[in-house]
Amino acid sequence: MQLDSIAFVAAETKIAQDAMYRLKHRYGHIAPDKADVIVALGGDGFMLETLHRYMGRKVPIYGMNRGTVGFLMNEFREMDLIDRISEAQTVELHPLQMEAHTVSGESMCALAINEVSLLRETRQAAKLRIKVDGVERLAELVCDGALVCTPAGSTAYNLSAHGPILPMGSGLLALTPISAFRPRRWRGALLPNWARVDIEILDAVKRPVSASADHTEIRRVTHVAVRESAEAEGVIMFDSDHGWDERILTEMFRY
């Protein structure tokens, strides 16, 4: 790829800020809204924030891990950054669009690169009705919650909830229950990425539920609709010797 300008952004931690200072000194720096590539320094959470912030530009984001897990990040090294970026693989991320309606009658929308999750707000289990493309598939799911995730998010909260790992390019979304009580044997579903999932909260006043699209949370929802966004798109970059497909395969065989 043609690379004329780099912008550096960093999490607020000292280790990330120190790295940004050194990299700016070595490679120069331009404002993110004018750069060909944005280098994000931090952890996976900061990468998600960066992708959300610059999604409208569709500018590639190259992350280097200055956080903890760093599944979405590349290894941090100061040297040879230009060569690494020039040879990196790009992956297009298509976020989910959540439309949520609340007990008070409000309607709000948000995008999720990882997942849209619904969680009970009190000690009482949530009761959810699930429709896919307008067809009722579960009349009542008694659970702590449920989530819909993208392939990019399938190794995050979805994996902790025992959901499946989805390869990029699979054209799938995962619908995964969280601590399902009834029906106890239901383990979720794999859906085509063009499907619309509607989740209605039964008895929403007595059994309140919150909905989160990545870091955007909406409380006391009555109905949530989720589908892949037809317009928004993010671009993330991985070193060619450890691309996204390899990371997914490695995670699938981790024990």
**Where in the sequence numbering do the catalytic residues fall?**
44
Query: Any idea how long the chain is?
Result: 255
Buried b (16+ CB within 10 A) or exposed e, 35-48: bebbbbbbbbebbb
Please say whether the beta carbons of 215 and 186 come within 8 A: no
- Cβ-count burial of 23 within 10 angstroms (0-12 exposed, 13-18 middle, 19+ buried)? buried
- The distance in angstroms from the start CA to the end CA of the chain is 37
φ and ψ at 151, to 5 degrees? Answer: -55, -40
φ and ψ at 190, to 5 degrees? Answer: -100, 130
